[in-house]
Chains A and B, each alone.
Chain A
Amino acid sequence: MTLNRRTFLGTGVAAAATLSAPMVRAQGRPRVVVIGGGAGGATAARYIAKDSEGAIDVTLIEPSRTYFTCFFSNLYLGGFRTLESLAHTYAKLATDYGINVVHDWATGVDRDAKTVALAGGGSVPYDKLVISPGIDFVDGSVPGWDISAQGVMPHAYKAGTQTALLKAQIEAMPQGGVFVMVAPPNPYRCPPGPYERISMVAHYLKANNPTAKIIVADPKEQYSKQALFEEGWQKHYPGMVERLGPDFGGGNVSVDPGAMTVDIDGEVVKADAVNVIPAQKAGHICEVAGLTDGNWAPVDGHSMVSRLDPEIYILGDASAQGDMPKSGFSANSQAKVAAMAVRGALTGSRVFPAKFSNTCWSLIATDDGVKVGAAYEPTEEKIASVSSFVSQTGEDAAMRKATYEESLGWYSGITSDMFG
C-alpha cells in the first residue's frame, strides 16, 4: 500500500486531533509510546509513524521543546558553529508525521498495566514502549562534584545551557589560565567526545589565550582515536595539552567547586575553568522502570527489545547492547531496527535481519577532520562488530578537509533523519 503525501497527512492530522495529552485515547489503532526525543527516540518515532502510514498511533514524550545536539557541540566550543545551529524542534514530527508530541517528563512505567506516568499528571497507555532517555550521571563518581555543582564546573555532556556555560567560562579565562577536564571512565557517551572537546578548546585558546594550559585527568589507559588526537595536538597546539592518565594519578581525582580546585592524586591544581564529565549510567527512567542490570539496560540486538520486558525496546546510550559505541549515529541506527520490529509486531509488516553501523567524525583543528567507524550484526549474546576502519595518522590535508566536509553532510543528514 502506498499512500500519497496528502492522504497520509490527512490521517496524521486527524490522528493528532483525536489525541490529547495527558490521557491518550486512540480508536483501535495500536499505540506506541516513545520516551525521549533524542537521536534514538526522535528517529524511532518518525520511522514508526512514517512507515506505518498512519496505522500506528505514536506518542513522543520529551520535556524539552528544543533539542540541542551534543554532536557538533564541541565545534561550538571551538567557534565553528553557533549554538542556534545545534537547535532542533519537534514541530515537523507533529505536523508532517502526525506524532503526538507531549512535552513532559515520564516519571514511571507501569509494566503490568502498560502505561507511562507523566510528571504533569495522568498517564499514557501503550502497546509497545520505546525508551531512549540518554544518560544520567553516577552519583559520587567524582568526589566533591554533584549536580548542584554543574553551574560552577559544567559537564556539558547534555547539550544546551551547559555547553553555553562551559563556553562562557573558557572565554572568561585570564591570559595564561588553566583549563582542567576530568575525563570519564568507560563506558560513556561518545568515546572520542572528550578529546574532540580538548582539541576545540585548544583551538579557541590558541587564537585567544595562547599561553593558557589544558590539563586532562583521565582514568583510562587508552581512548578512542588516541594516535590521531595526539598527533593533532602535537601539530596544532604544541605544549598546550597535558594528559594525565592513570599512571600519573588521572584516576584519583576530586574537586572543590567552591575553591575552583582539582586534586589530582594529591596535587592540587587551581583552575580557571573545570569541565567535569562524570561516570555515566542509563537515563534514570530505565532504573525506575526496573529495566536495568547494573548501570545499563540490557537488550537483544536482533530488535533492541529489552531482555527484561518483551513489550519494551531500549535504544541509544541507555542500552547495554554489545560492541556499538554510545553515539548519536548508533542510536539512530538502532532506532531503525527497533522501528521495523515494532511495526512488524503491531501491523504484521515485513521484518528484515537487523543491520547496524556507526561512524564518528571528530574535528581536531580547522579542516582537520578524522573518523572511526564499524558495521555490526546481532548475535545471541550481543551486537557484534563485523568490520571497522579508522583514519590514519599522516593523512594529507586534502583528505582531512574532505573528512571534515563529510561530517557537515552527516550532521545535516542525521538531523533530517531524526526531525524530518
Chain B
Amino acid sequence: MRALVAAVMIALAPAGAALAQDKAELIGDASRGEEAFRQCRGCHQVGPGAENRVGPHLNGIFGRRAGSIEGFDYSDGMDRAHADGMVWTIERLDAYLENPRALVSGTRMSFRGIKDAQERHDVMAYLRRYSASPRDIPESQPTAFRSEVDLPPEILAIVGDREYGEYLASECLTCHKRDGADDGIPSIVNWVEEDFVIAMHAYKRQIRPHPVMQMMAGRLSDEEIAALATYFATID
C-alpha cells in the first residue's frame, strides 16, 4: 500500500503537496483507464446496467469481497479467496491486474496481466468511478490504512488549536455522534491524533473514496485538520 500510494503521489503531485486540487484520479487517470479497459471489455462490463459476461461485472469492485457476485460461477481458486474473506482493496486489485495467477491460483481469468504500473493505476481509477463505496472506509480501524498517505513530518508536527477544533467539529457533529455511537456513520471520537490527521489528508487528496468526506476534508487546511484531531482526541 505504502509503495503504491507513494508511487502514485510522486507521479501526479509534488511530494507533500496536500492540495485540495489533487483529484480523485490520484490513483491514476480515469480517462486513460477507460481506454486501457478496452482489453478487459471482452469479458467484463462496468457502469450503469453492467451485467455478468464471461467475467463478473465490476460495479462496486473496491471493497467488495472477492467471488461474491451472486449467480456468477467462479473458479475454485476464487471461491477459496472468497471463503478466506479476501476483499478487493487497491493493493490487491493492483496485484491481480499485474498477474492474475500470482494472487489467485487457478483463476479462470486468462489474462496475461498489465505490466505497466501506471496503466494498472489508470484502470483502477476508471473502475473506482463505479465504486466509491462507503463500505471501504476503514474508520472502524483507524490504523489499518496508516500508510495511505505519506505525510511530511512538519504536517504531523502541527499542534492543533483545540478551541478552533471545537468550532470546526460542530460541523462534523451534524452526522457523527459525539457519544461515539456508530450506526450508519462511523465514530470519530477518541482517535489517536495522527490517525485522524492521516485519514483526513487521505480524504482531502481523494485517496479515500467517500464523497461527503472528500468534500468536507477538501476545504480544510493542515492547521484545521490538526485542530480537529486535537479536539476529537480530547473530548470526554
Q: A-side interface residues toward B, CB under 8 Å?
A: 47, 51, 329, 332-333, 336, 340, 350, 352, 355, 357, 359, 371, 373-375, 377, 386-389, 392-396, 398-399, 402-403, 405-410, 412-414, 416-417
Contact = CB atoms under 8 A, between A and B. Distances in A.
Given A399-B133, A406-B185, A413-B175, A375 B170 contact: no
Interface stretch (B5-13, B142-150, B212-220): B212-220
B185 A357 contact: no
Given A389-B211, A398-B135, A408 B219 contact: no
Interface in B148-184: 163-164, 166-168, 170-171, 173-179, 181-184
A41 to B, nearest CB: 16
Contacts of A394: 47-50, 59, 130
B132 interface: yes
B174 A413 contact: yes
A373 B184 CA distance: 17
B55 interface: no
Interface string B204-236: 000000011011101100000000000000000
B77 interface: no
Given A394-B59, A403-B134, A333 B174 contact: yes
A97 to B, nearest CB: 14
Contacts of A406: 134, 175, 184-185
A388 B211 CA distance: 9
Contact of A357 (B131, B171, B177): B171
Nearest to B58: A396
Interface residues of B, number: 40
A333 B181 CA distance: 21
Contacts of A371: 211-212
A258 to B, nearest CB: 44
Contact of A373 (B133, B163, B173, B212): B212
A261 B146 CA distance: 63
B64 interface: yes
B134 A414 contact: no
A413 B175 CA distance: 5
Contacts of A396: 59-60, 130, 133
Given A355-B219, A416-B179, 17 more contacts: A336-B167, A350-B167, A355-B171, A357-B174, A375-B216, A393-B48, A394-B48, A394-B130, A395-B59, A399-B133, A403-B134, A405-B183, A406-B185, A408-B184, A413-B176, A413-B185, A414-B174
Nearest to B164: A352
B59 A414 contact: no
A377 B170 CA distance: 16
Nearest to A376: B219
11 contacts: A371-B212, A389-B214, A392-B130, A395-B130, A398-B135, A402-B135, A410-B174, A412-B181, A412-B184, A413-B177, A414-B175
Contacts of A332: 174
Contact of A386 (B132, B171, B184, B219): B219
A51 B47 CA distance: 48
A343 B202 CA distance: 34
B130 to A, nearest CB: 7
B215 A389 contact: yes
Interface in B120-144: 129-135
B64 A373 contact: no
A373 B214 CA distance: 11
A408 B171 contact: no
A350 B184 CA distance: 33
